[in-house]
């Protein structure tokens, strides 16, 4: 069955989850859909499987445009989707789950269904006992149950959304073998993942998505650096850096480890000087987030020490870090950074230095108006945080930062901003270096890391596997490290 998605748009409020996506999937192939978290992959697949209605665009099956108003429509048209968390009803038995969703007008013949289930299991080498309660199945077996159920319902296009999360390496090997044999039988398999190695291992072809758009499509195999390039942006000419003289140590991590699994393998020791910019690279969840939270005093290390400007703050409260002029701008601007329902003025009053009992609202409003103008925020001092667009929320967060910080920690400082706004934001940030502020930021954008960092730490699987001088590095080198490949080892395969 040939399958085309044409110019699919899907917005959630101001978020353009899918912004004009066109993809063609050939019959009998394993097609990868690769992109960072938030790229819009699941949204697109939910549109294709009838869970979401697209705002606009077309789905074309075998040359005919189809309307898929529900998952039932989709499976009737031959499209089945395995969600990230298999939709298995745990109290029910395997066979009851298997027959779930079979068309209601057909009288259910349980004996035939049971023998069909057995037949399918035999064919794909699965071992599912029809009478067993589904809660006793492993996640891998629940996936197997979903696969045979969708096949039984007549799926000819099978979508798997991040299917390797939570299954063992063994089960993954088995899943991949099953998917390969399904494709060989003429099934179209769409494999959704943010893990580059998996797509590279399994798929015939891959479409790469970033920020709701397709940024590339290639026939595999290609060198992994090539996929990293597409996922994280093409290398562009790097502008001249304006280095500032570095000062004393502002952040010193000495043999830090946590017990949460992140940063657990090897202790991390890092020293960041006044005026220095350190970028953190790596796939989402490779340890950068834990690292930043440790530096911000939001996560206490299990071993080692954290010092800010020479003062040991290990195990101290988040407030002690604030008092030491450490600020953290999280990726969740509205969730963690700003307060929903409060106006811009209220944000300035809350973060202001005036701690008297009565709030000076007039002064708060004046300050808000002034900063709205200075930071070019599209809104007024009476606008609520949530009414601002992502870019303006980020401008507000920057406007709220006090001067003369020792250490500024950020996650994805320009995610979701257009190039102009991103450039403006970095102009503001880099100016702070002159006051001696040290900046440590995590980003998925390799160009941003190369352009603005002095040094780049690359995280993989919870450890720092590389440290690079940004001026002497490039997208390819970081890309290799991000994928777990160093010059002499191949960590990607030992995971």
Ligand X SMILES: Nc1ncnc2c1ncn2[C@@H]1O[C@H](COP(=O)(O)OP(=O)(O)O)[C@@H](O)[C@H]1O
Scan residues 33-52 and list those touching ligand X (CB under 6 A): 35, 37-43
**Chain centre distance of CA 247:** 34
Q: How many CB atoms lie within 10 A of CB 353?
A: 5
39 binds, among ligand X, Mg ion, none (CB under 5 to 8 A by kind): ligand X
Least distance to ligand X from the beta carbon of 207, Å? 12
Greatest pairwise CA separation for the chain in angstroms:
79
Q: Which residues inside 128-147 make contact with ligand X, applying CB under 6 A? A: none
The footprint of ligand X on this chain (CB under 6 A) covers a number of residues equal to 11
Q: What torsion, rounded to 10 degrees, do the Cα atoms 344, 345, 351, 353 define?
A: 150
Which C-beta is closer to Mg ion: that of 17 or that of 294? 17
Angle, CA of 227, 192 and 187, to the nearest 5°? 110
Q: What 3-state class would DSSP assign to 66?
A: strand
CA dihedral 442, 446, 447, 452 (to 10 degrees): 30
413 binds, among Mg ion, ligand X, none (CB under 5 to 8 A by kind): none
Q: Which of residues 8-27 bind ligand X (CB under 6 A)?
A: 12, 15, 17
CA distance 485 to 482: 7
Contacts (Cβ under 8 Å, ≥6 apart) of 136:
none
CB of 265 to ligand X, least distance (A): 26
CB contact at 8 A, 82 and 46:
no
Q: Which is nearer to ligand X, 52 or 406 (CB)?
A: 52
Q: In terms of CB distance, is 208 or 281 closer to ligand X?
A: 208
Which of ligand X, Mg ion, none lies near 278, with the C-beta cut-off 5 to 8 A by kind?
A: none
Which residues 366-425 are close enough to bind ligand X by CB under 6 A?
Answer: none
Of 410, 456, 401, 444, residue with least CA distance to 241: 456
Unique residue bearing structure tokens 């995971």: 495
Enumerate residues 17-46 that contact Mg ion by CB under 5 A: 42
- Reference 2, options 50, 63, 47; nearest CA is 63
The answer to whether 409 touches 253, Cβ cutoff 8 Å, is no
> Quick one: tokens of 280?
């953190």
Q: What residues numbered 270-309 form the site for Mg ion, per CB under 5 A?
A: none
- Residue 12 interacting entry, from Mg ion, ligand X, none, C-beta within 5 to 8 Å by type: ligand X
Task: Give me the least distance between CB of 196 and ligand X, in Å please.
Answer: 14
Give the whole-angstrom CA distance, residue 280 versus residue 295.
13
C-beta of 33 vs 272, nearer to Mg ion: 33
Query: Total binding residues for Mg ion by CB under 5 A?
Result: 1
| Binding site partner of 38, from ligand X, Mg ion, none, Cβ cut-off 5-8 A by kind | ligand X
Q: Shortest gap between Cβ of 461 and ligand X (angstroms)?
A: 20
Nearer to ligand X, 275 or 282 (CB): 282
User: Based on CB atoms, which residue is closest to ligand X, 31 or 432?
Assistant: 31
Tokens 């007549």 sit at which residue? 154
Query: Nearer Cβ to ligand X, position 37 or 181?
Result: 37
> Which residues of the shown chain bind Mg ion in the complex (CB under 5 A)?
42
> Which residues of the shown chain bind ligand X in the complex (CB under 6 A)?
12, 15, 17, 35, 37-43
């Amino acid at each position: 069955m040939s399958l085309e998605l044409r110019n699919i748009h899907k917005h959630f409020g101001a978020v353009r989850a899918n912004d004009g996506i066109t993809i063609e999937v050939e019959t009998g192939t394993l097609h990868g859909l690769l992109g960072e978290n938030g790229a819009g992959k699941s949204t697109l697949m939910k549109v294709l499987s009838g869970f979401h209605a697209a705002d606009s665009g077309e789905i074309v099956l075998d040359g005919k445009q189809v309307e898929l108003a529900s998952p039932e429509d989709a499976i009737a048209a031959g499209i089945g989707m395995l969600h990230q968390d298999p939709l298995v009803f745990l109290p029910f038995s395997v066979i009851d789950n298997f027959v779930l969703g079979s068309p209601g007008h057909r009288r259910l013949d349980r004996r035939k269904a049971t023998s069909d289930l057995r037949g399918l299991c035999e064919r794909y080498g699965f071992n599912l006992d029809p009478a067993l309660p589904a809660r006793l199945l492993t996640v891998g077996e629940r996936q197997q149950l979903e696969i045979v159920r969708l096949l039984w319902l007549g799926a000819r296009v099978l979508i798997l959304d991040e299917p390797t999360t939570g299954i063992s390496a063994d089960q993954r090997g088995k899943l991949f073998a099953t998917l390969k044999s399904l494709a060989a039988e003429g099934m179209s398999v769409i494999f959704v993942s943010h893990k580059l190695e998996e797509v590279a291992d399994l798929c015939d072809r891959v479409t790469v998505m970033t920020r709701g758009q397709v940024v590339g499509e290639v026939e595999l195999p290609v060198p992994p650096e090539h996929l990293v390039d597409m996922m994280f942006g093409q290398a562009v000419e790097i502008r001249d850096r304006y280095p500032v003289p570095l000062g004393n140590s502002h952040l010193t991590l000495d043999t830090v480890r946590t017990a949460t699994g992140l940063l657990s393998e090897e202790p991390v020791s890092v020293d960041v000087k006044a005026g220095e910019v350190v970028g953190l690279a790596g796939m989402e969840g490779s340890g950068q987030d834990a690292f930043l939270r440790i530096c911000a005093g939001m996560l206490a290390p299990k071993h080692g020490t954290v010092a800010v400007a020479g003062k040991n703050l290990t195990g101290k409260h988040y407030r002690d870090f604030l008092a030491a002029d450490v600020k953290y701008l999280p990726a969740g601007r509205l969730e963690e950074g700003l307060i929903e329902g409060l106006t811009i003025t209220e944000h300035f009053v809350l973060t202001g230095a005036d701690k008297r009992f009565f709030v000076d609202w007039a002064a708060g409003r004046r300050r808000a108006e002034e900063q709205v103008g200075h930071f070019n925020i599209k809104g007024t001092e009476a606008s609520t945080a949530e009414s601002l667009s992502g870019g303006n929320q980020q401008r507000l967060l920057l406007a709220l930062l006090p001067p003369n910080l020792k250490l500024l920690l950020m996650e994805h400082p320009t995610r979701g901003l257009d190039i102009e706004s991103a450039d403006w934001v970095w102009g503001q940030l880099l100016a702070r270096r002159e006051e001696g502020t040290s900046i440590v930021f995590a980003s998925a954008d390799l160009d941003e890391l190369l352009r603005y960092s002095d040094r780049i730490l690359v995280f993989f699987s919870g450890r720092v596997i590389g440290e690079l001088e940004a001026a002497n590095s490039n997208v390819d080198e970081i890309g290799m490290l991000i994928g777990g490949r160093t010059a002499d080892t191949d960590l990607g395969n030992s995971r």
